[in-house]
């Protein structure tokens, strides 16, 4: 009889224990999942290059299309083309993250929320300084600056509608798209030299404005350092947005 009671008690207790264990495993799994998301498996450099070329080619194609249509930057038509490019970049980043890592594109997986402990690896100071100096030297030889309106065409004053569209819509979308792909996804997956390699990829992503690539690489190394220092993409996103928005307002407003 006592044995029967014990079996019955176990039969009633077991389901609740299993349920509790399931909840614990899910909770622990969430923590483990967060750590996996913050410590992603490394990607080969060729994958980063392929994604950069694919996303940059979309930008080059849309630029050529808008120019042939008579919509030179900055204009309403160019604004629409840039927004389409940004959306394509976000879609490509989301596809790559899901295809290679099985993760969805969220604020956490892109580095905009939380910290990925990127400072566990030392910052590649020697490589960063060497590449930045070389990039600035090439920029001086080329003679075009990323902060000059002439590098993007003829600088001219535009309507407040275009200024508002650029500052309120296009630049926030640009920052999210580019920081997601390069600082959020690629940098922590490219190993010790991720900050430098991601900066080079980010500069080369701007195929339609090739003469500004060297300066963009140097600027990208600075953004990569902020990403490494803070472990988050939020600070790099703010710096990126302020640089773009201030340049546009001072040049075209």
pLDDT tens, the chain, 253 aa long: 444 444 443 443 444 333 333 333 333 333 444 443 457 899 999 999 999 999 999 999 999 999 999 998 999 999 999 999 999 999 999 999 999 999 999 999 999 998 766 566 899 999 999 999 999 999 988 877 787 777 776 677 889 999 999 999 999 999 999 999 999 999 999 999 999 999 999 999 999 999 899 999 999 999 999 999 999 999 999 999 999 999 999 999 8
How many CB atoms are closer than 10 A to CB 166? 24
Cα 89 off chain centre by: 9
d(CA 203, CA 219): 9
Cβ neighbours of residue 45 closer than 8 Å, sequence gap 6 or more: 190, 197
pTM for the model:
0.84
The pLDDT, as a whole number, for residue 219 is 97
Cβ neighbours of residue 118 closer than 8 Å, sequence gap 6 or more: 187, 188, 227, 228, 231
Q: Which two tokens stand for residue 211?
A: 């003469």
Cβ atoms of residues 200 and 220 within 8 Å: yes
145 phi, psi to nearest 5 deg: -110, 140
d(CA 32, CA 188): 18
């Amino acid at each position: 009889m006592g044995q029967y009671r014990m079996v019955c008690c176990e039969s009633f207790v077991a389901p609740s224990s299993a349920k509790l264990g399931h909840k614990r495993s899910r909770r622990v799994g969430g923590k483990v999942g967060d750590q996996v998301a913050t410590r992603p498996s490394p990607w080969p450099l060729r994958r980063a290059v392929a994604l950069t070329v694919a996303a940059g080619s979309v930008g080059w194609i849309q630029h050529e299309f808008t120019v042939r249509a008579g919509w030179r930057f900055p204009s309403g038509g160019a604004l629409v083309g840039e927004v389409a490019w940004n959306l394509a970049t976000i879609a490509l980043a989301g596809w790559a993250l899901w295809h290679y890592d099985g993760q969805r594109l969220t604020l956490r997986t892109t580095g905009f929320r939380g910290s990925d402990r990127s400072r566990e690896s030392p910052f590649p100071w020697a490589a960063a300084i060497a590449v930045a100096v070389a990039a600035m030297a090439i920029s001086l030889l080329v003679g075009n600056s990323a902060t000059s309106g002439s590098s993007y065409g003829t600088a001219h004053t535009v309507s407040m509608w275009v200024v508002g569209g650029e500052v309120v819509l296009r630049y926030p979308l640009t920052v999210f798209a580019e920081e997601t792909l390069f600082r959020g996804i690629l940098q922590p997956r490219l190993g010790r030299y991720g900050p430098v390699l991601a900066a080079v990829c980010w500069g080369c992503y701007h195929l339609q404005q090739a003469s500004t690539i060297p300066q963009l690489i140097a600027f990208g190394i600075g953004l990569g350092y902020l990403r490494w220092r803070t472990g988050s993409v939020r600070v790099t996103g703010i710096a990126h947005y302020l640089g773009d928005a201030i340049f546009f307002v001072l040049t075209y407003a």
